[in-house]
Amino acid sequence: MAAQLRTMAVYARQADLDAQFTAELRGAIEREGREAVLYSERDPNTMRAEMKRWGIVVDERFFRYPINPDYRERNAALDRLLEEGITSTLDRMAGALERVGPRLDRQTAGVARVALAQDDAWWDGYCSSIWDTFKLIQLDATVICPLAAAPWFGFLFVYPCLALQLAALLFFLIWVFYC
């Protein structure tokens, strides 16, 4: 998954999607107002339908862990997306997956010659990192996904929304099964 996200980031850079993305995001803020963009809500049924349209069937537990960001967190996410665009989000998700990947590979490998012991504090830090990454991805999705439903410019936000939701789902599943 990390490789796919890195590939998406390379494509986004080559196609200069950050410029289009931030221009449309700024346009949405001008048309709707900053507060309306900050507090637009993702509709779970619409998200399910869009993901299903792309062949992604999501376990219902994914929708039972809502992230309810406060005003400061929403503003920080919006400011980050306006300043960095979507490629930094893709890079951040890929980096997080690259950090947890080796641990998951070791844990699911069939044979282990040397057992690596982690204490409770290590697991607390690991699980906290997974949850924090899940929450950060969901914060970005809180800004991006409602814009995907906009009539004239929403198509620019559909793929980033799907990528965020897939990455969030992956981190959520890691957290559920390993933490």
N-term to C-term CA, the chain: 20
Residue by residue, DSSP assigns 22-39 as HHHHHHHHHHH-HHHHHT
> Is residue 106 situated within a structural domain?
no
Domain assignment present for residue 107? The answer is: no
Domain coverage including residue 73: 2-98+120-178
Cβ neighbours of residue 174 under 8 Å, at least 6 residues apart? 100, 104, 130
31-63 tens-digit pLDDT: 889 998 888 877 778 777 777 777 777 777 777
Domain count of the fold of the chain: 1
171 within domain boundaries? yes
CB 167 within 8 A of CB 5: yes
With 80 as the cut, is the pLDDT of residue 120 above it? Answer: no
Please determine, for residue 114, whether its predicted confidence score (pLDDT) is greater than 60. Answer: no
Q: Which long-range contacts (CB under 8 A, 24 or more apart) does 61-67 make?
A: 61/172, 61/176, 62/168, 62/169, 62/172, 65/172, 67/134, 67/135, 67/138, 67/139, 67/142
Is residue 18's pLDDT more than 80? yes
What confidence category does residue 112 fall into, taking pLDDT thresholds of 50, 70 and 90? very low
CB 59 within 8 A of CB 132: no
Determine, yes or no, domain membership for 113.
Answer: no
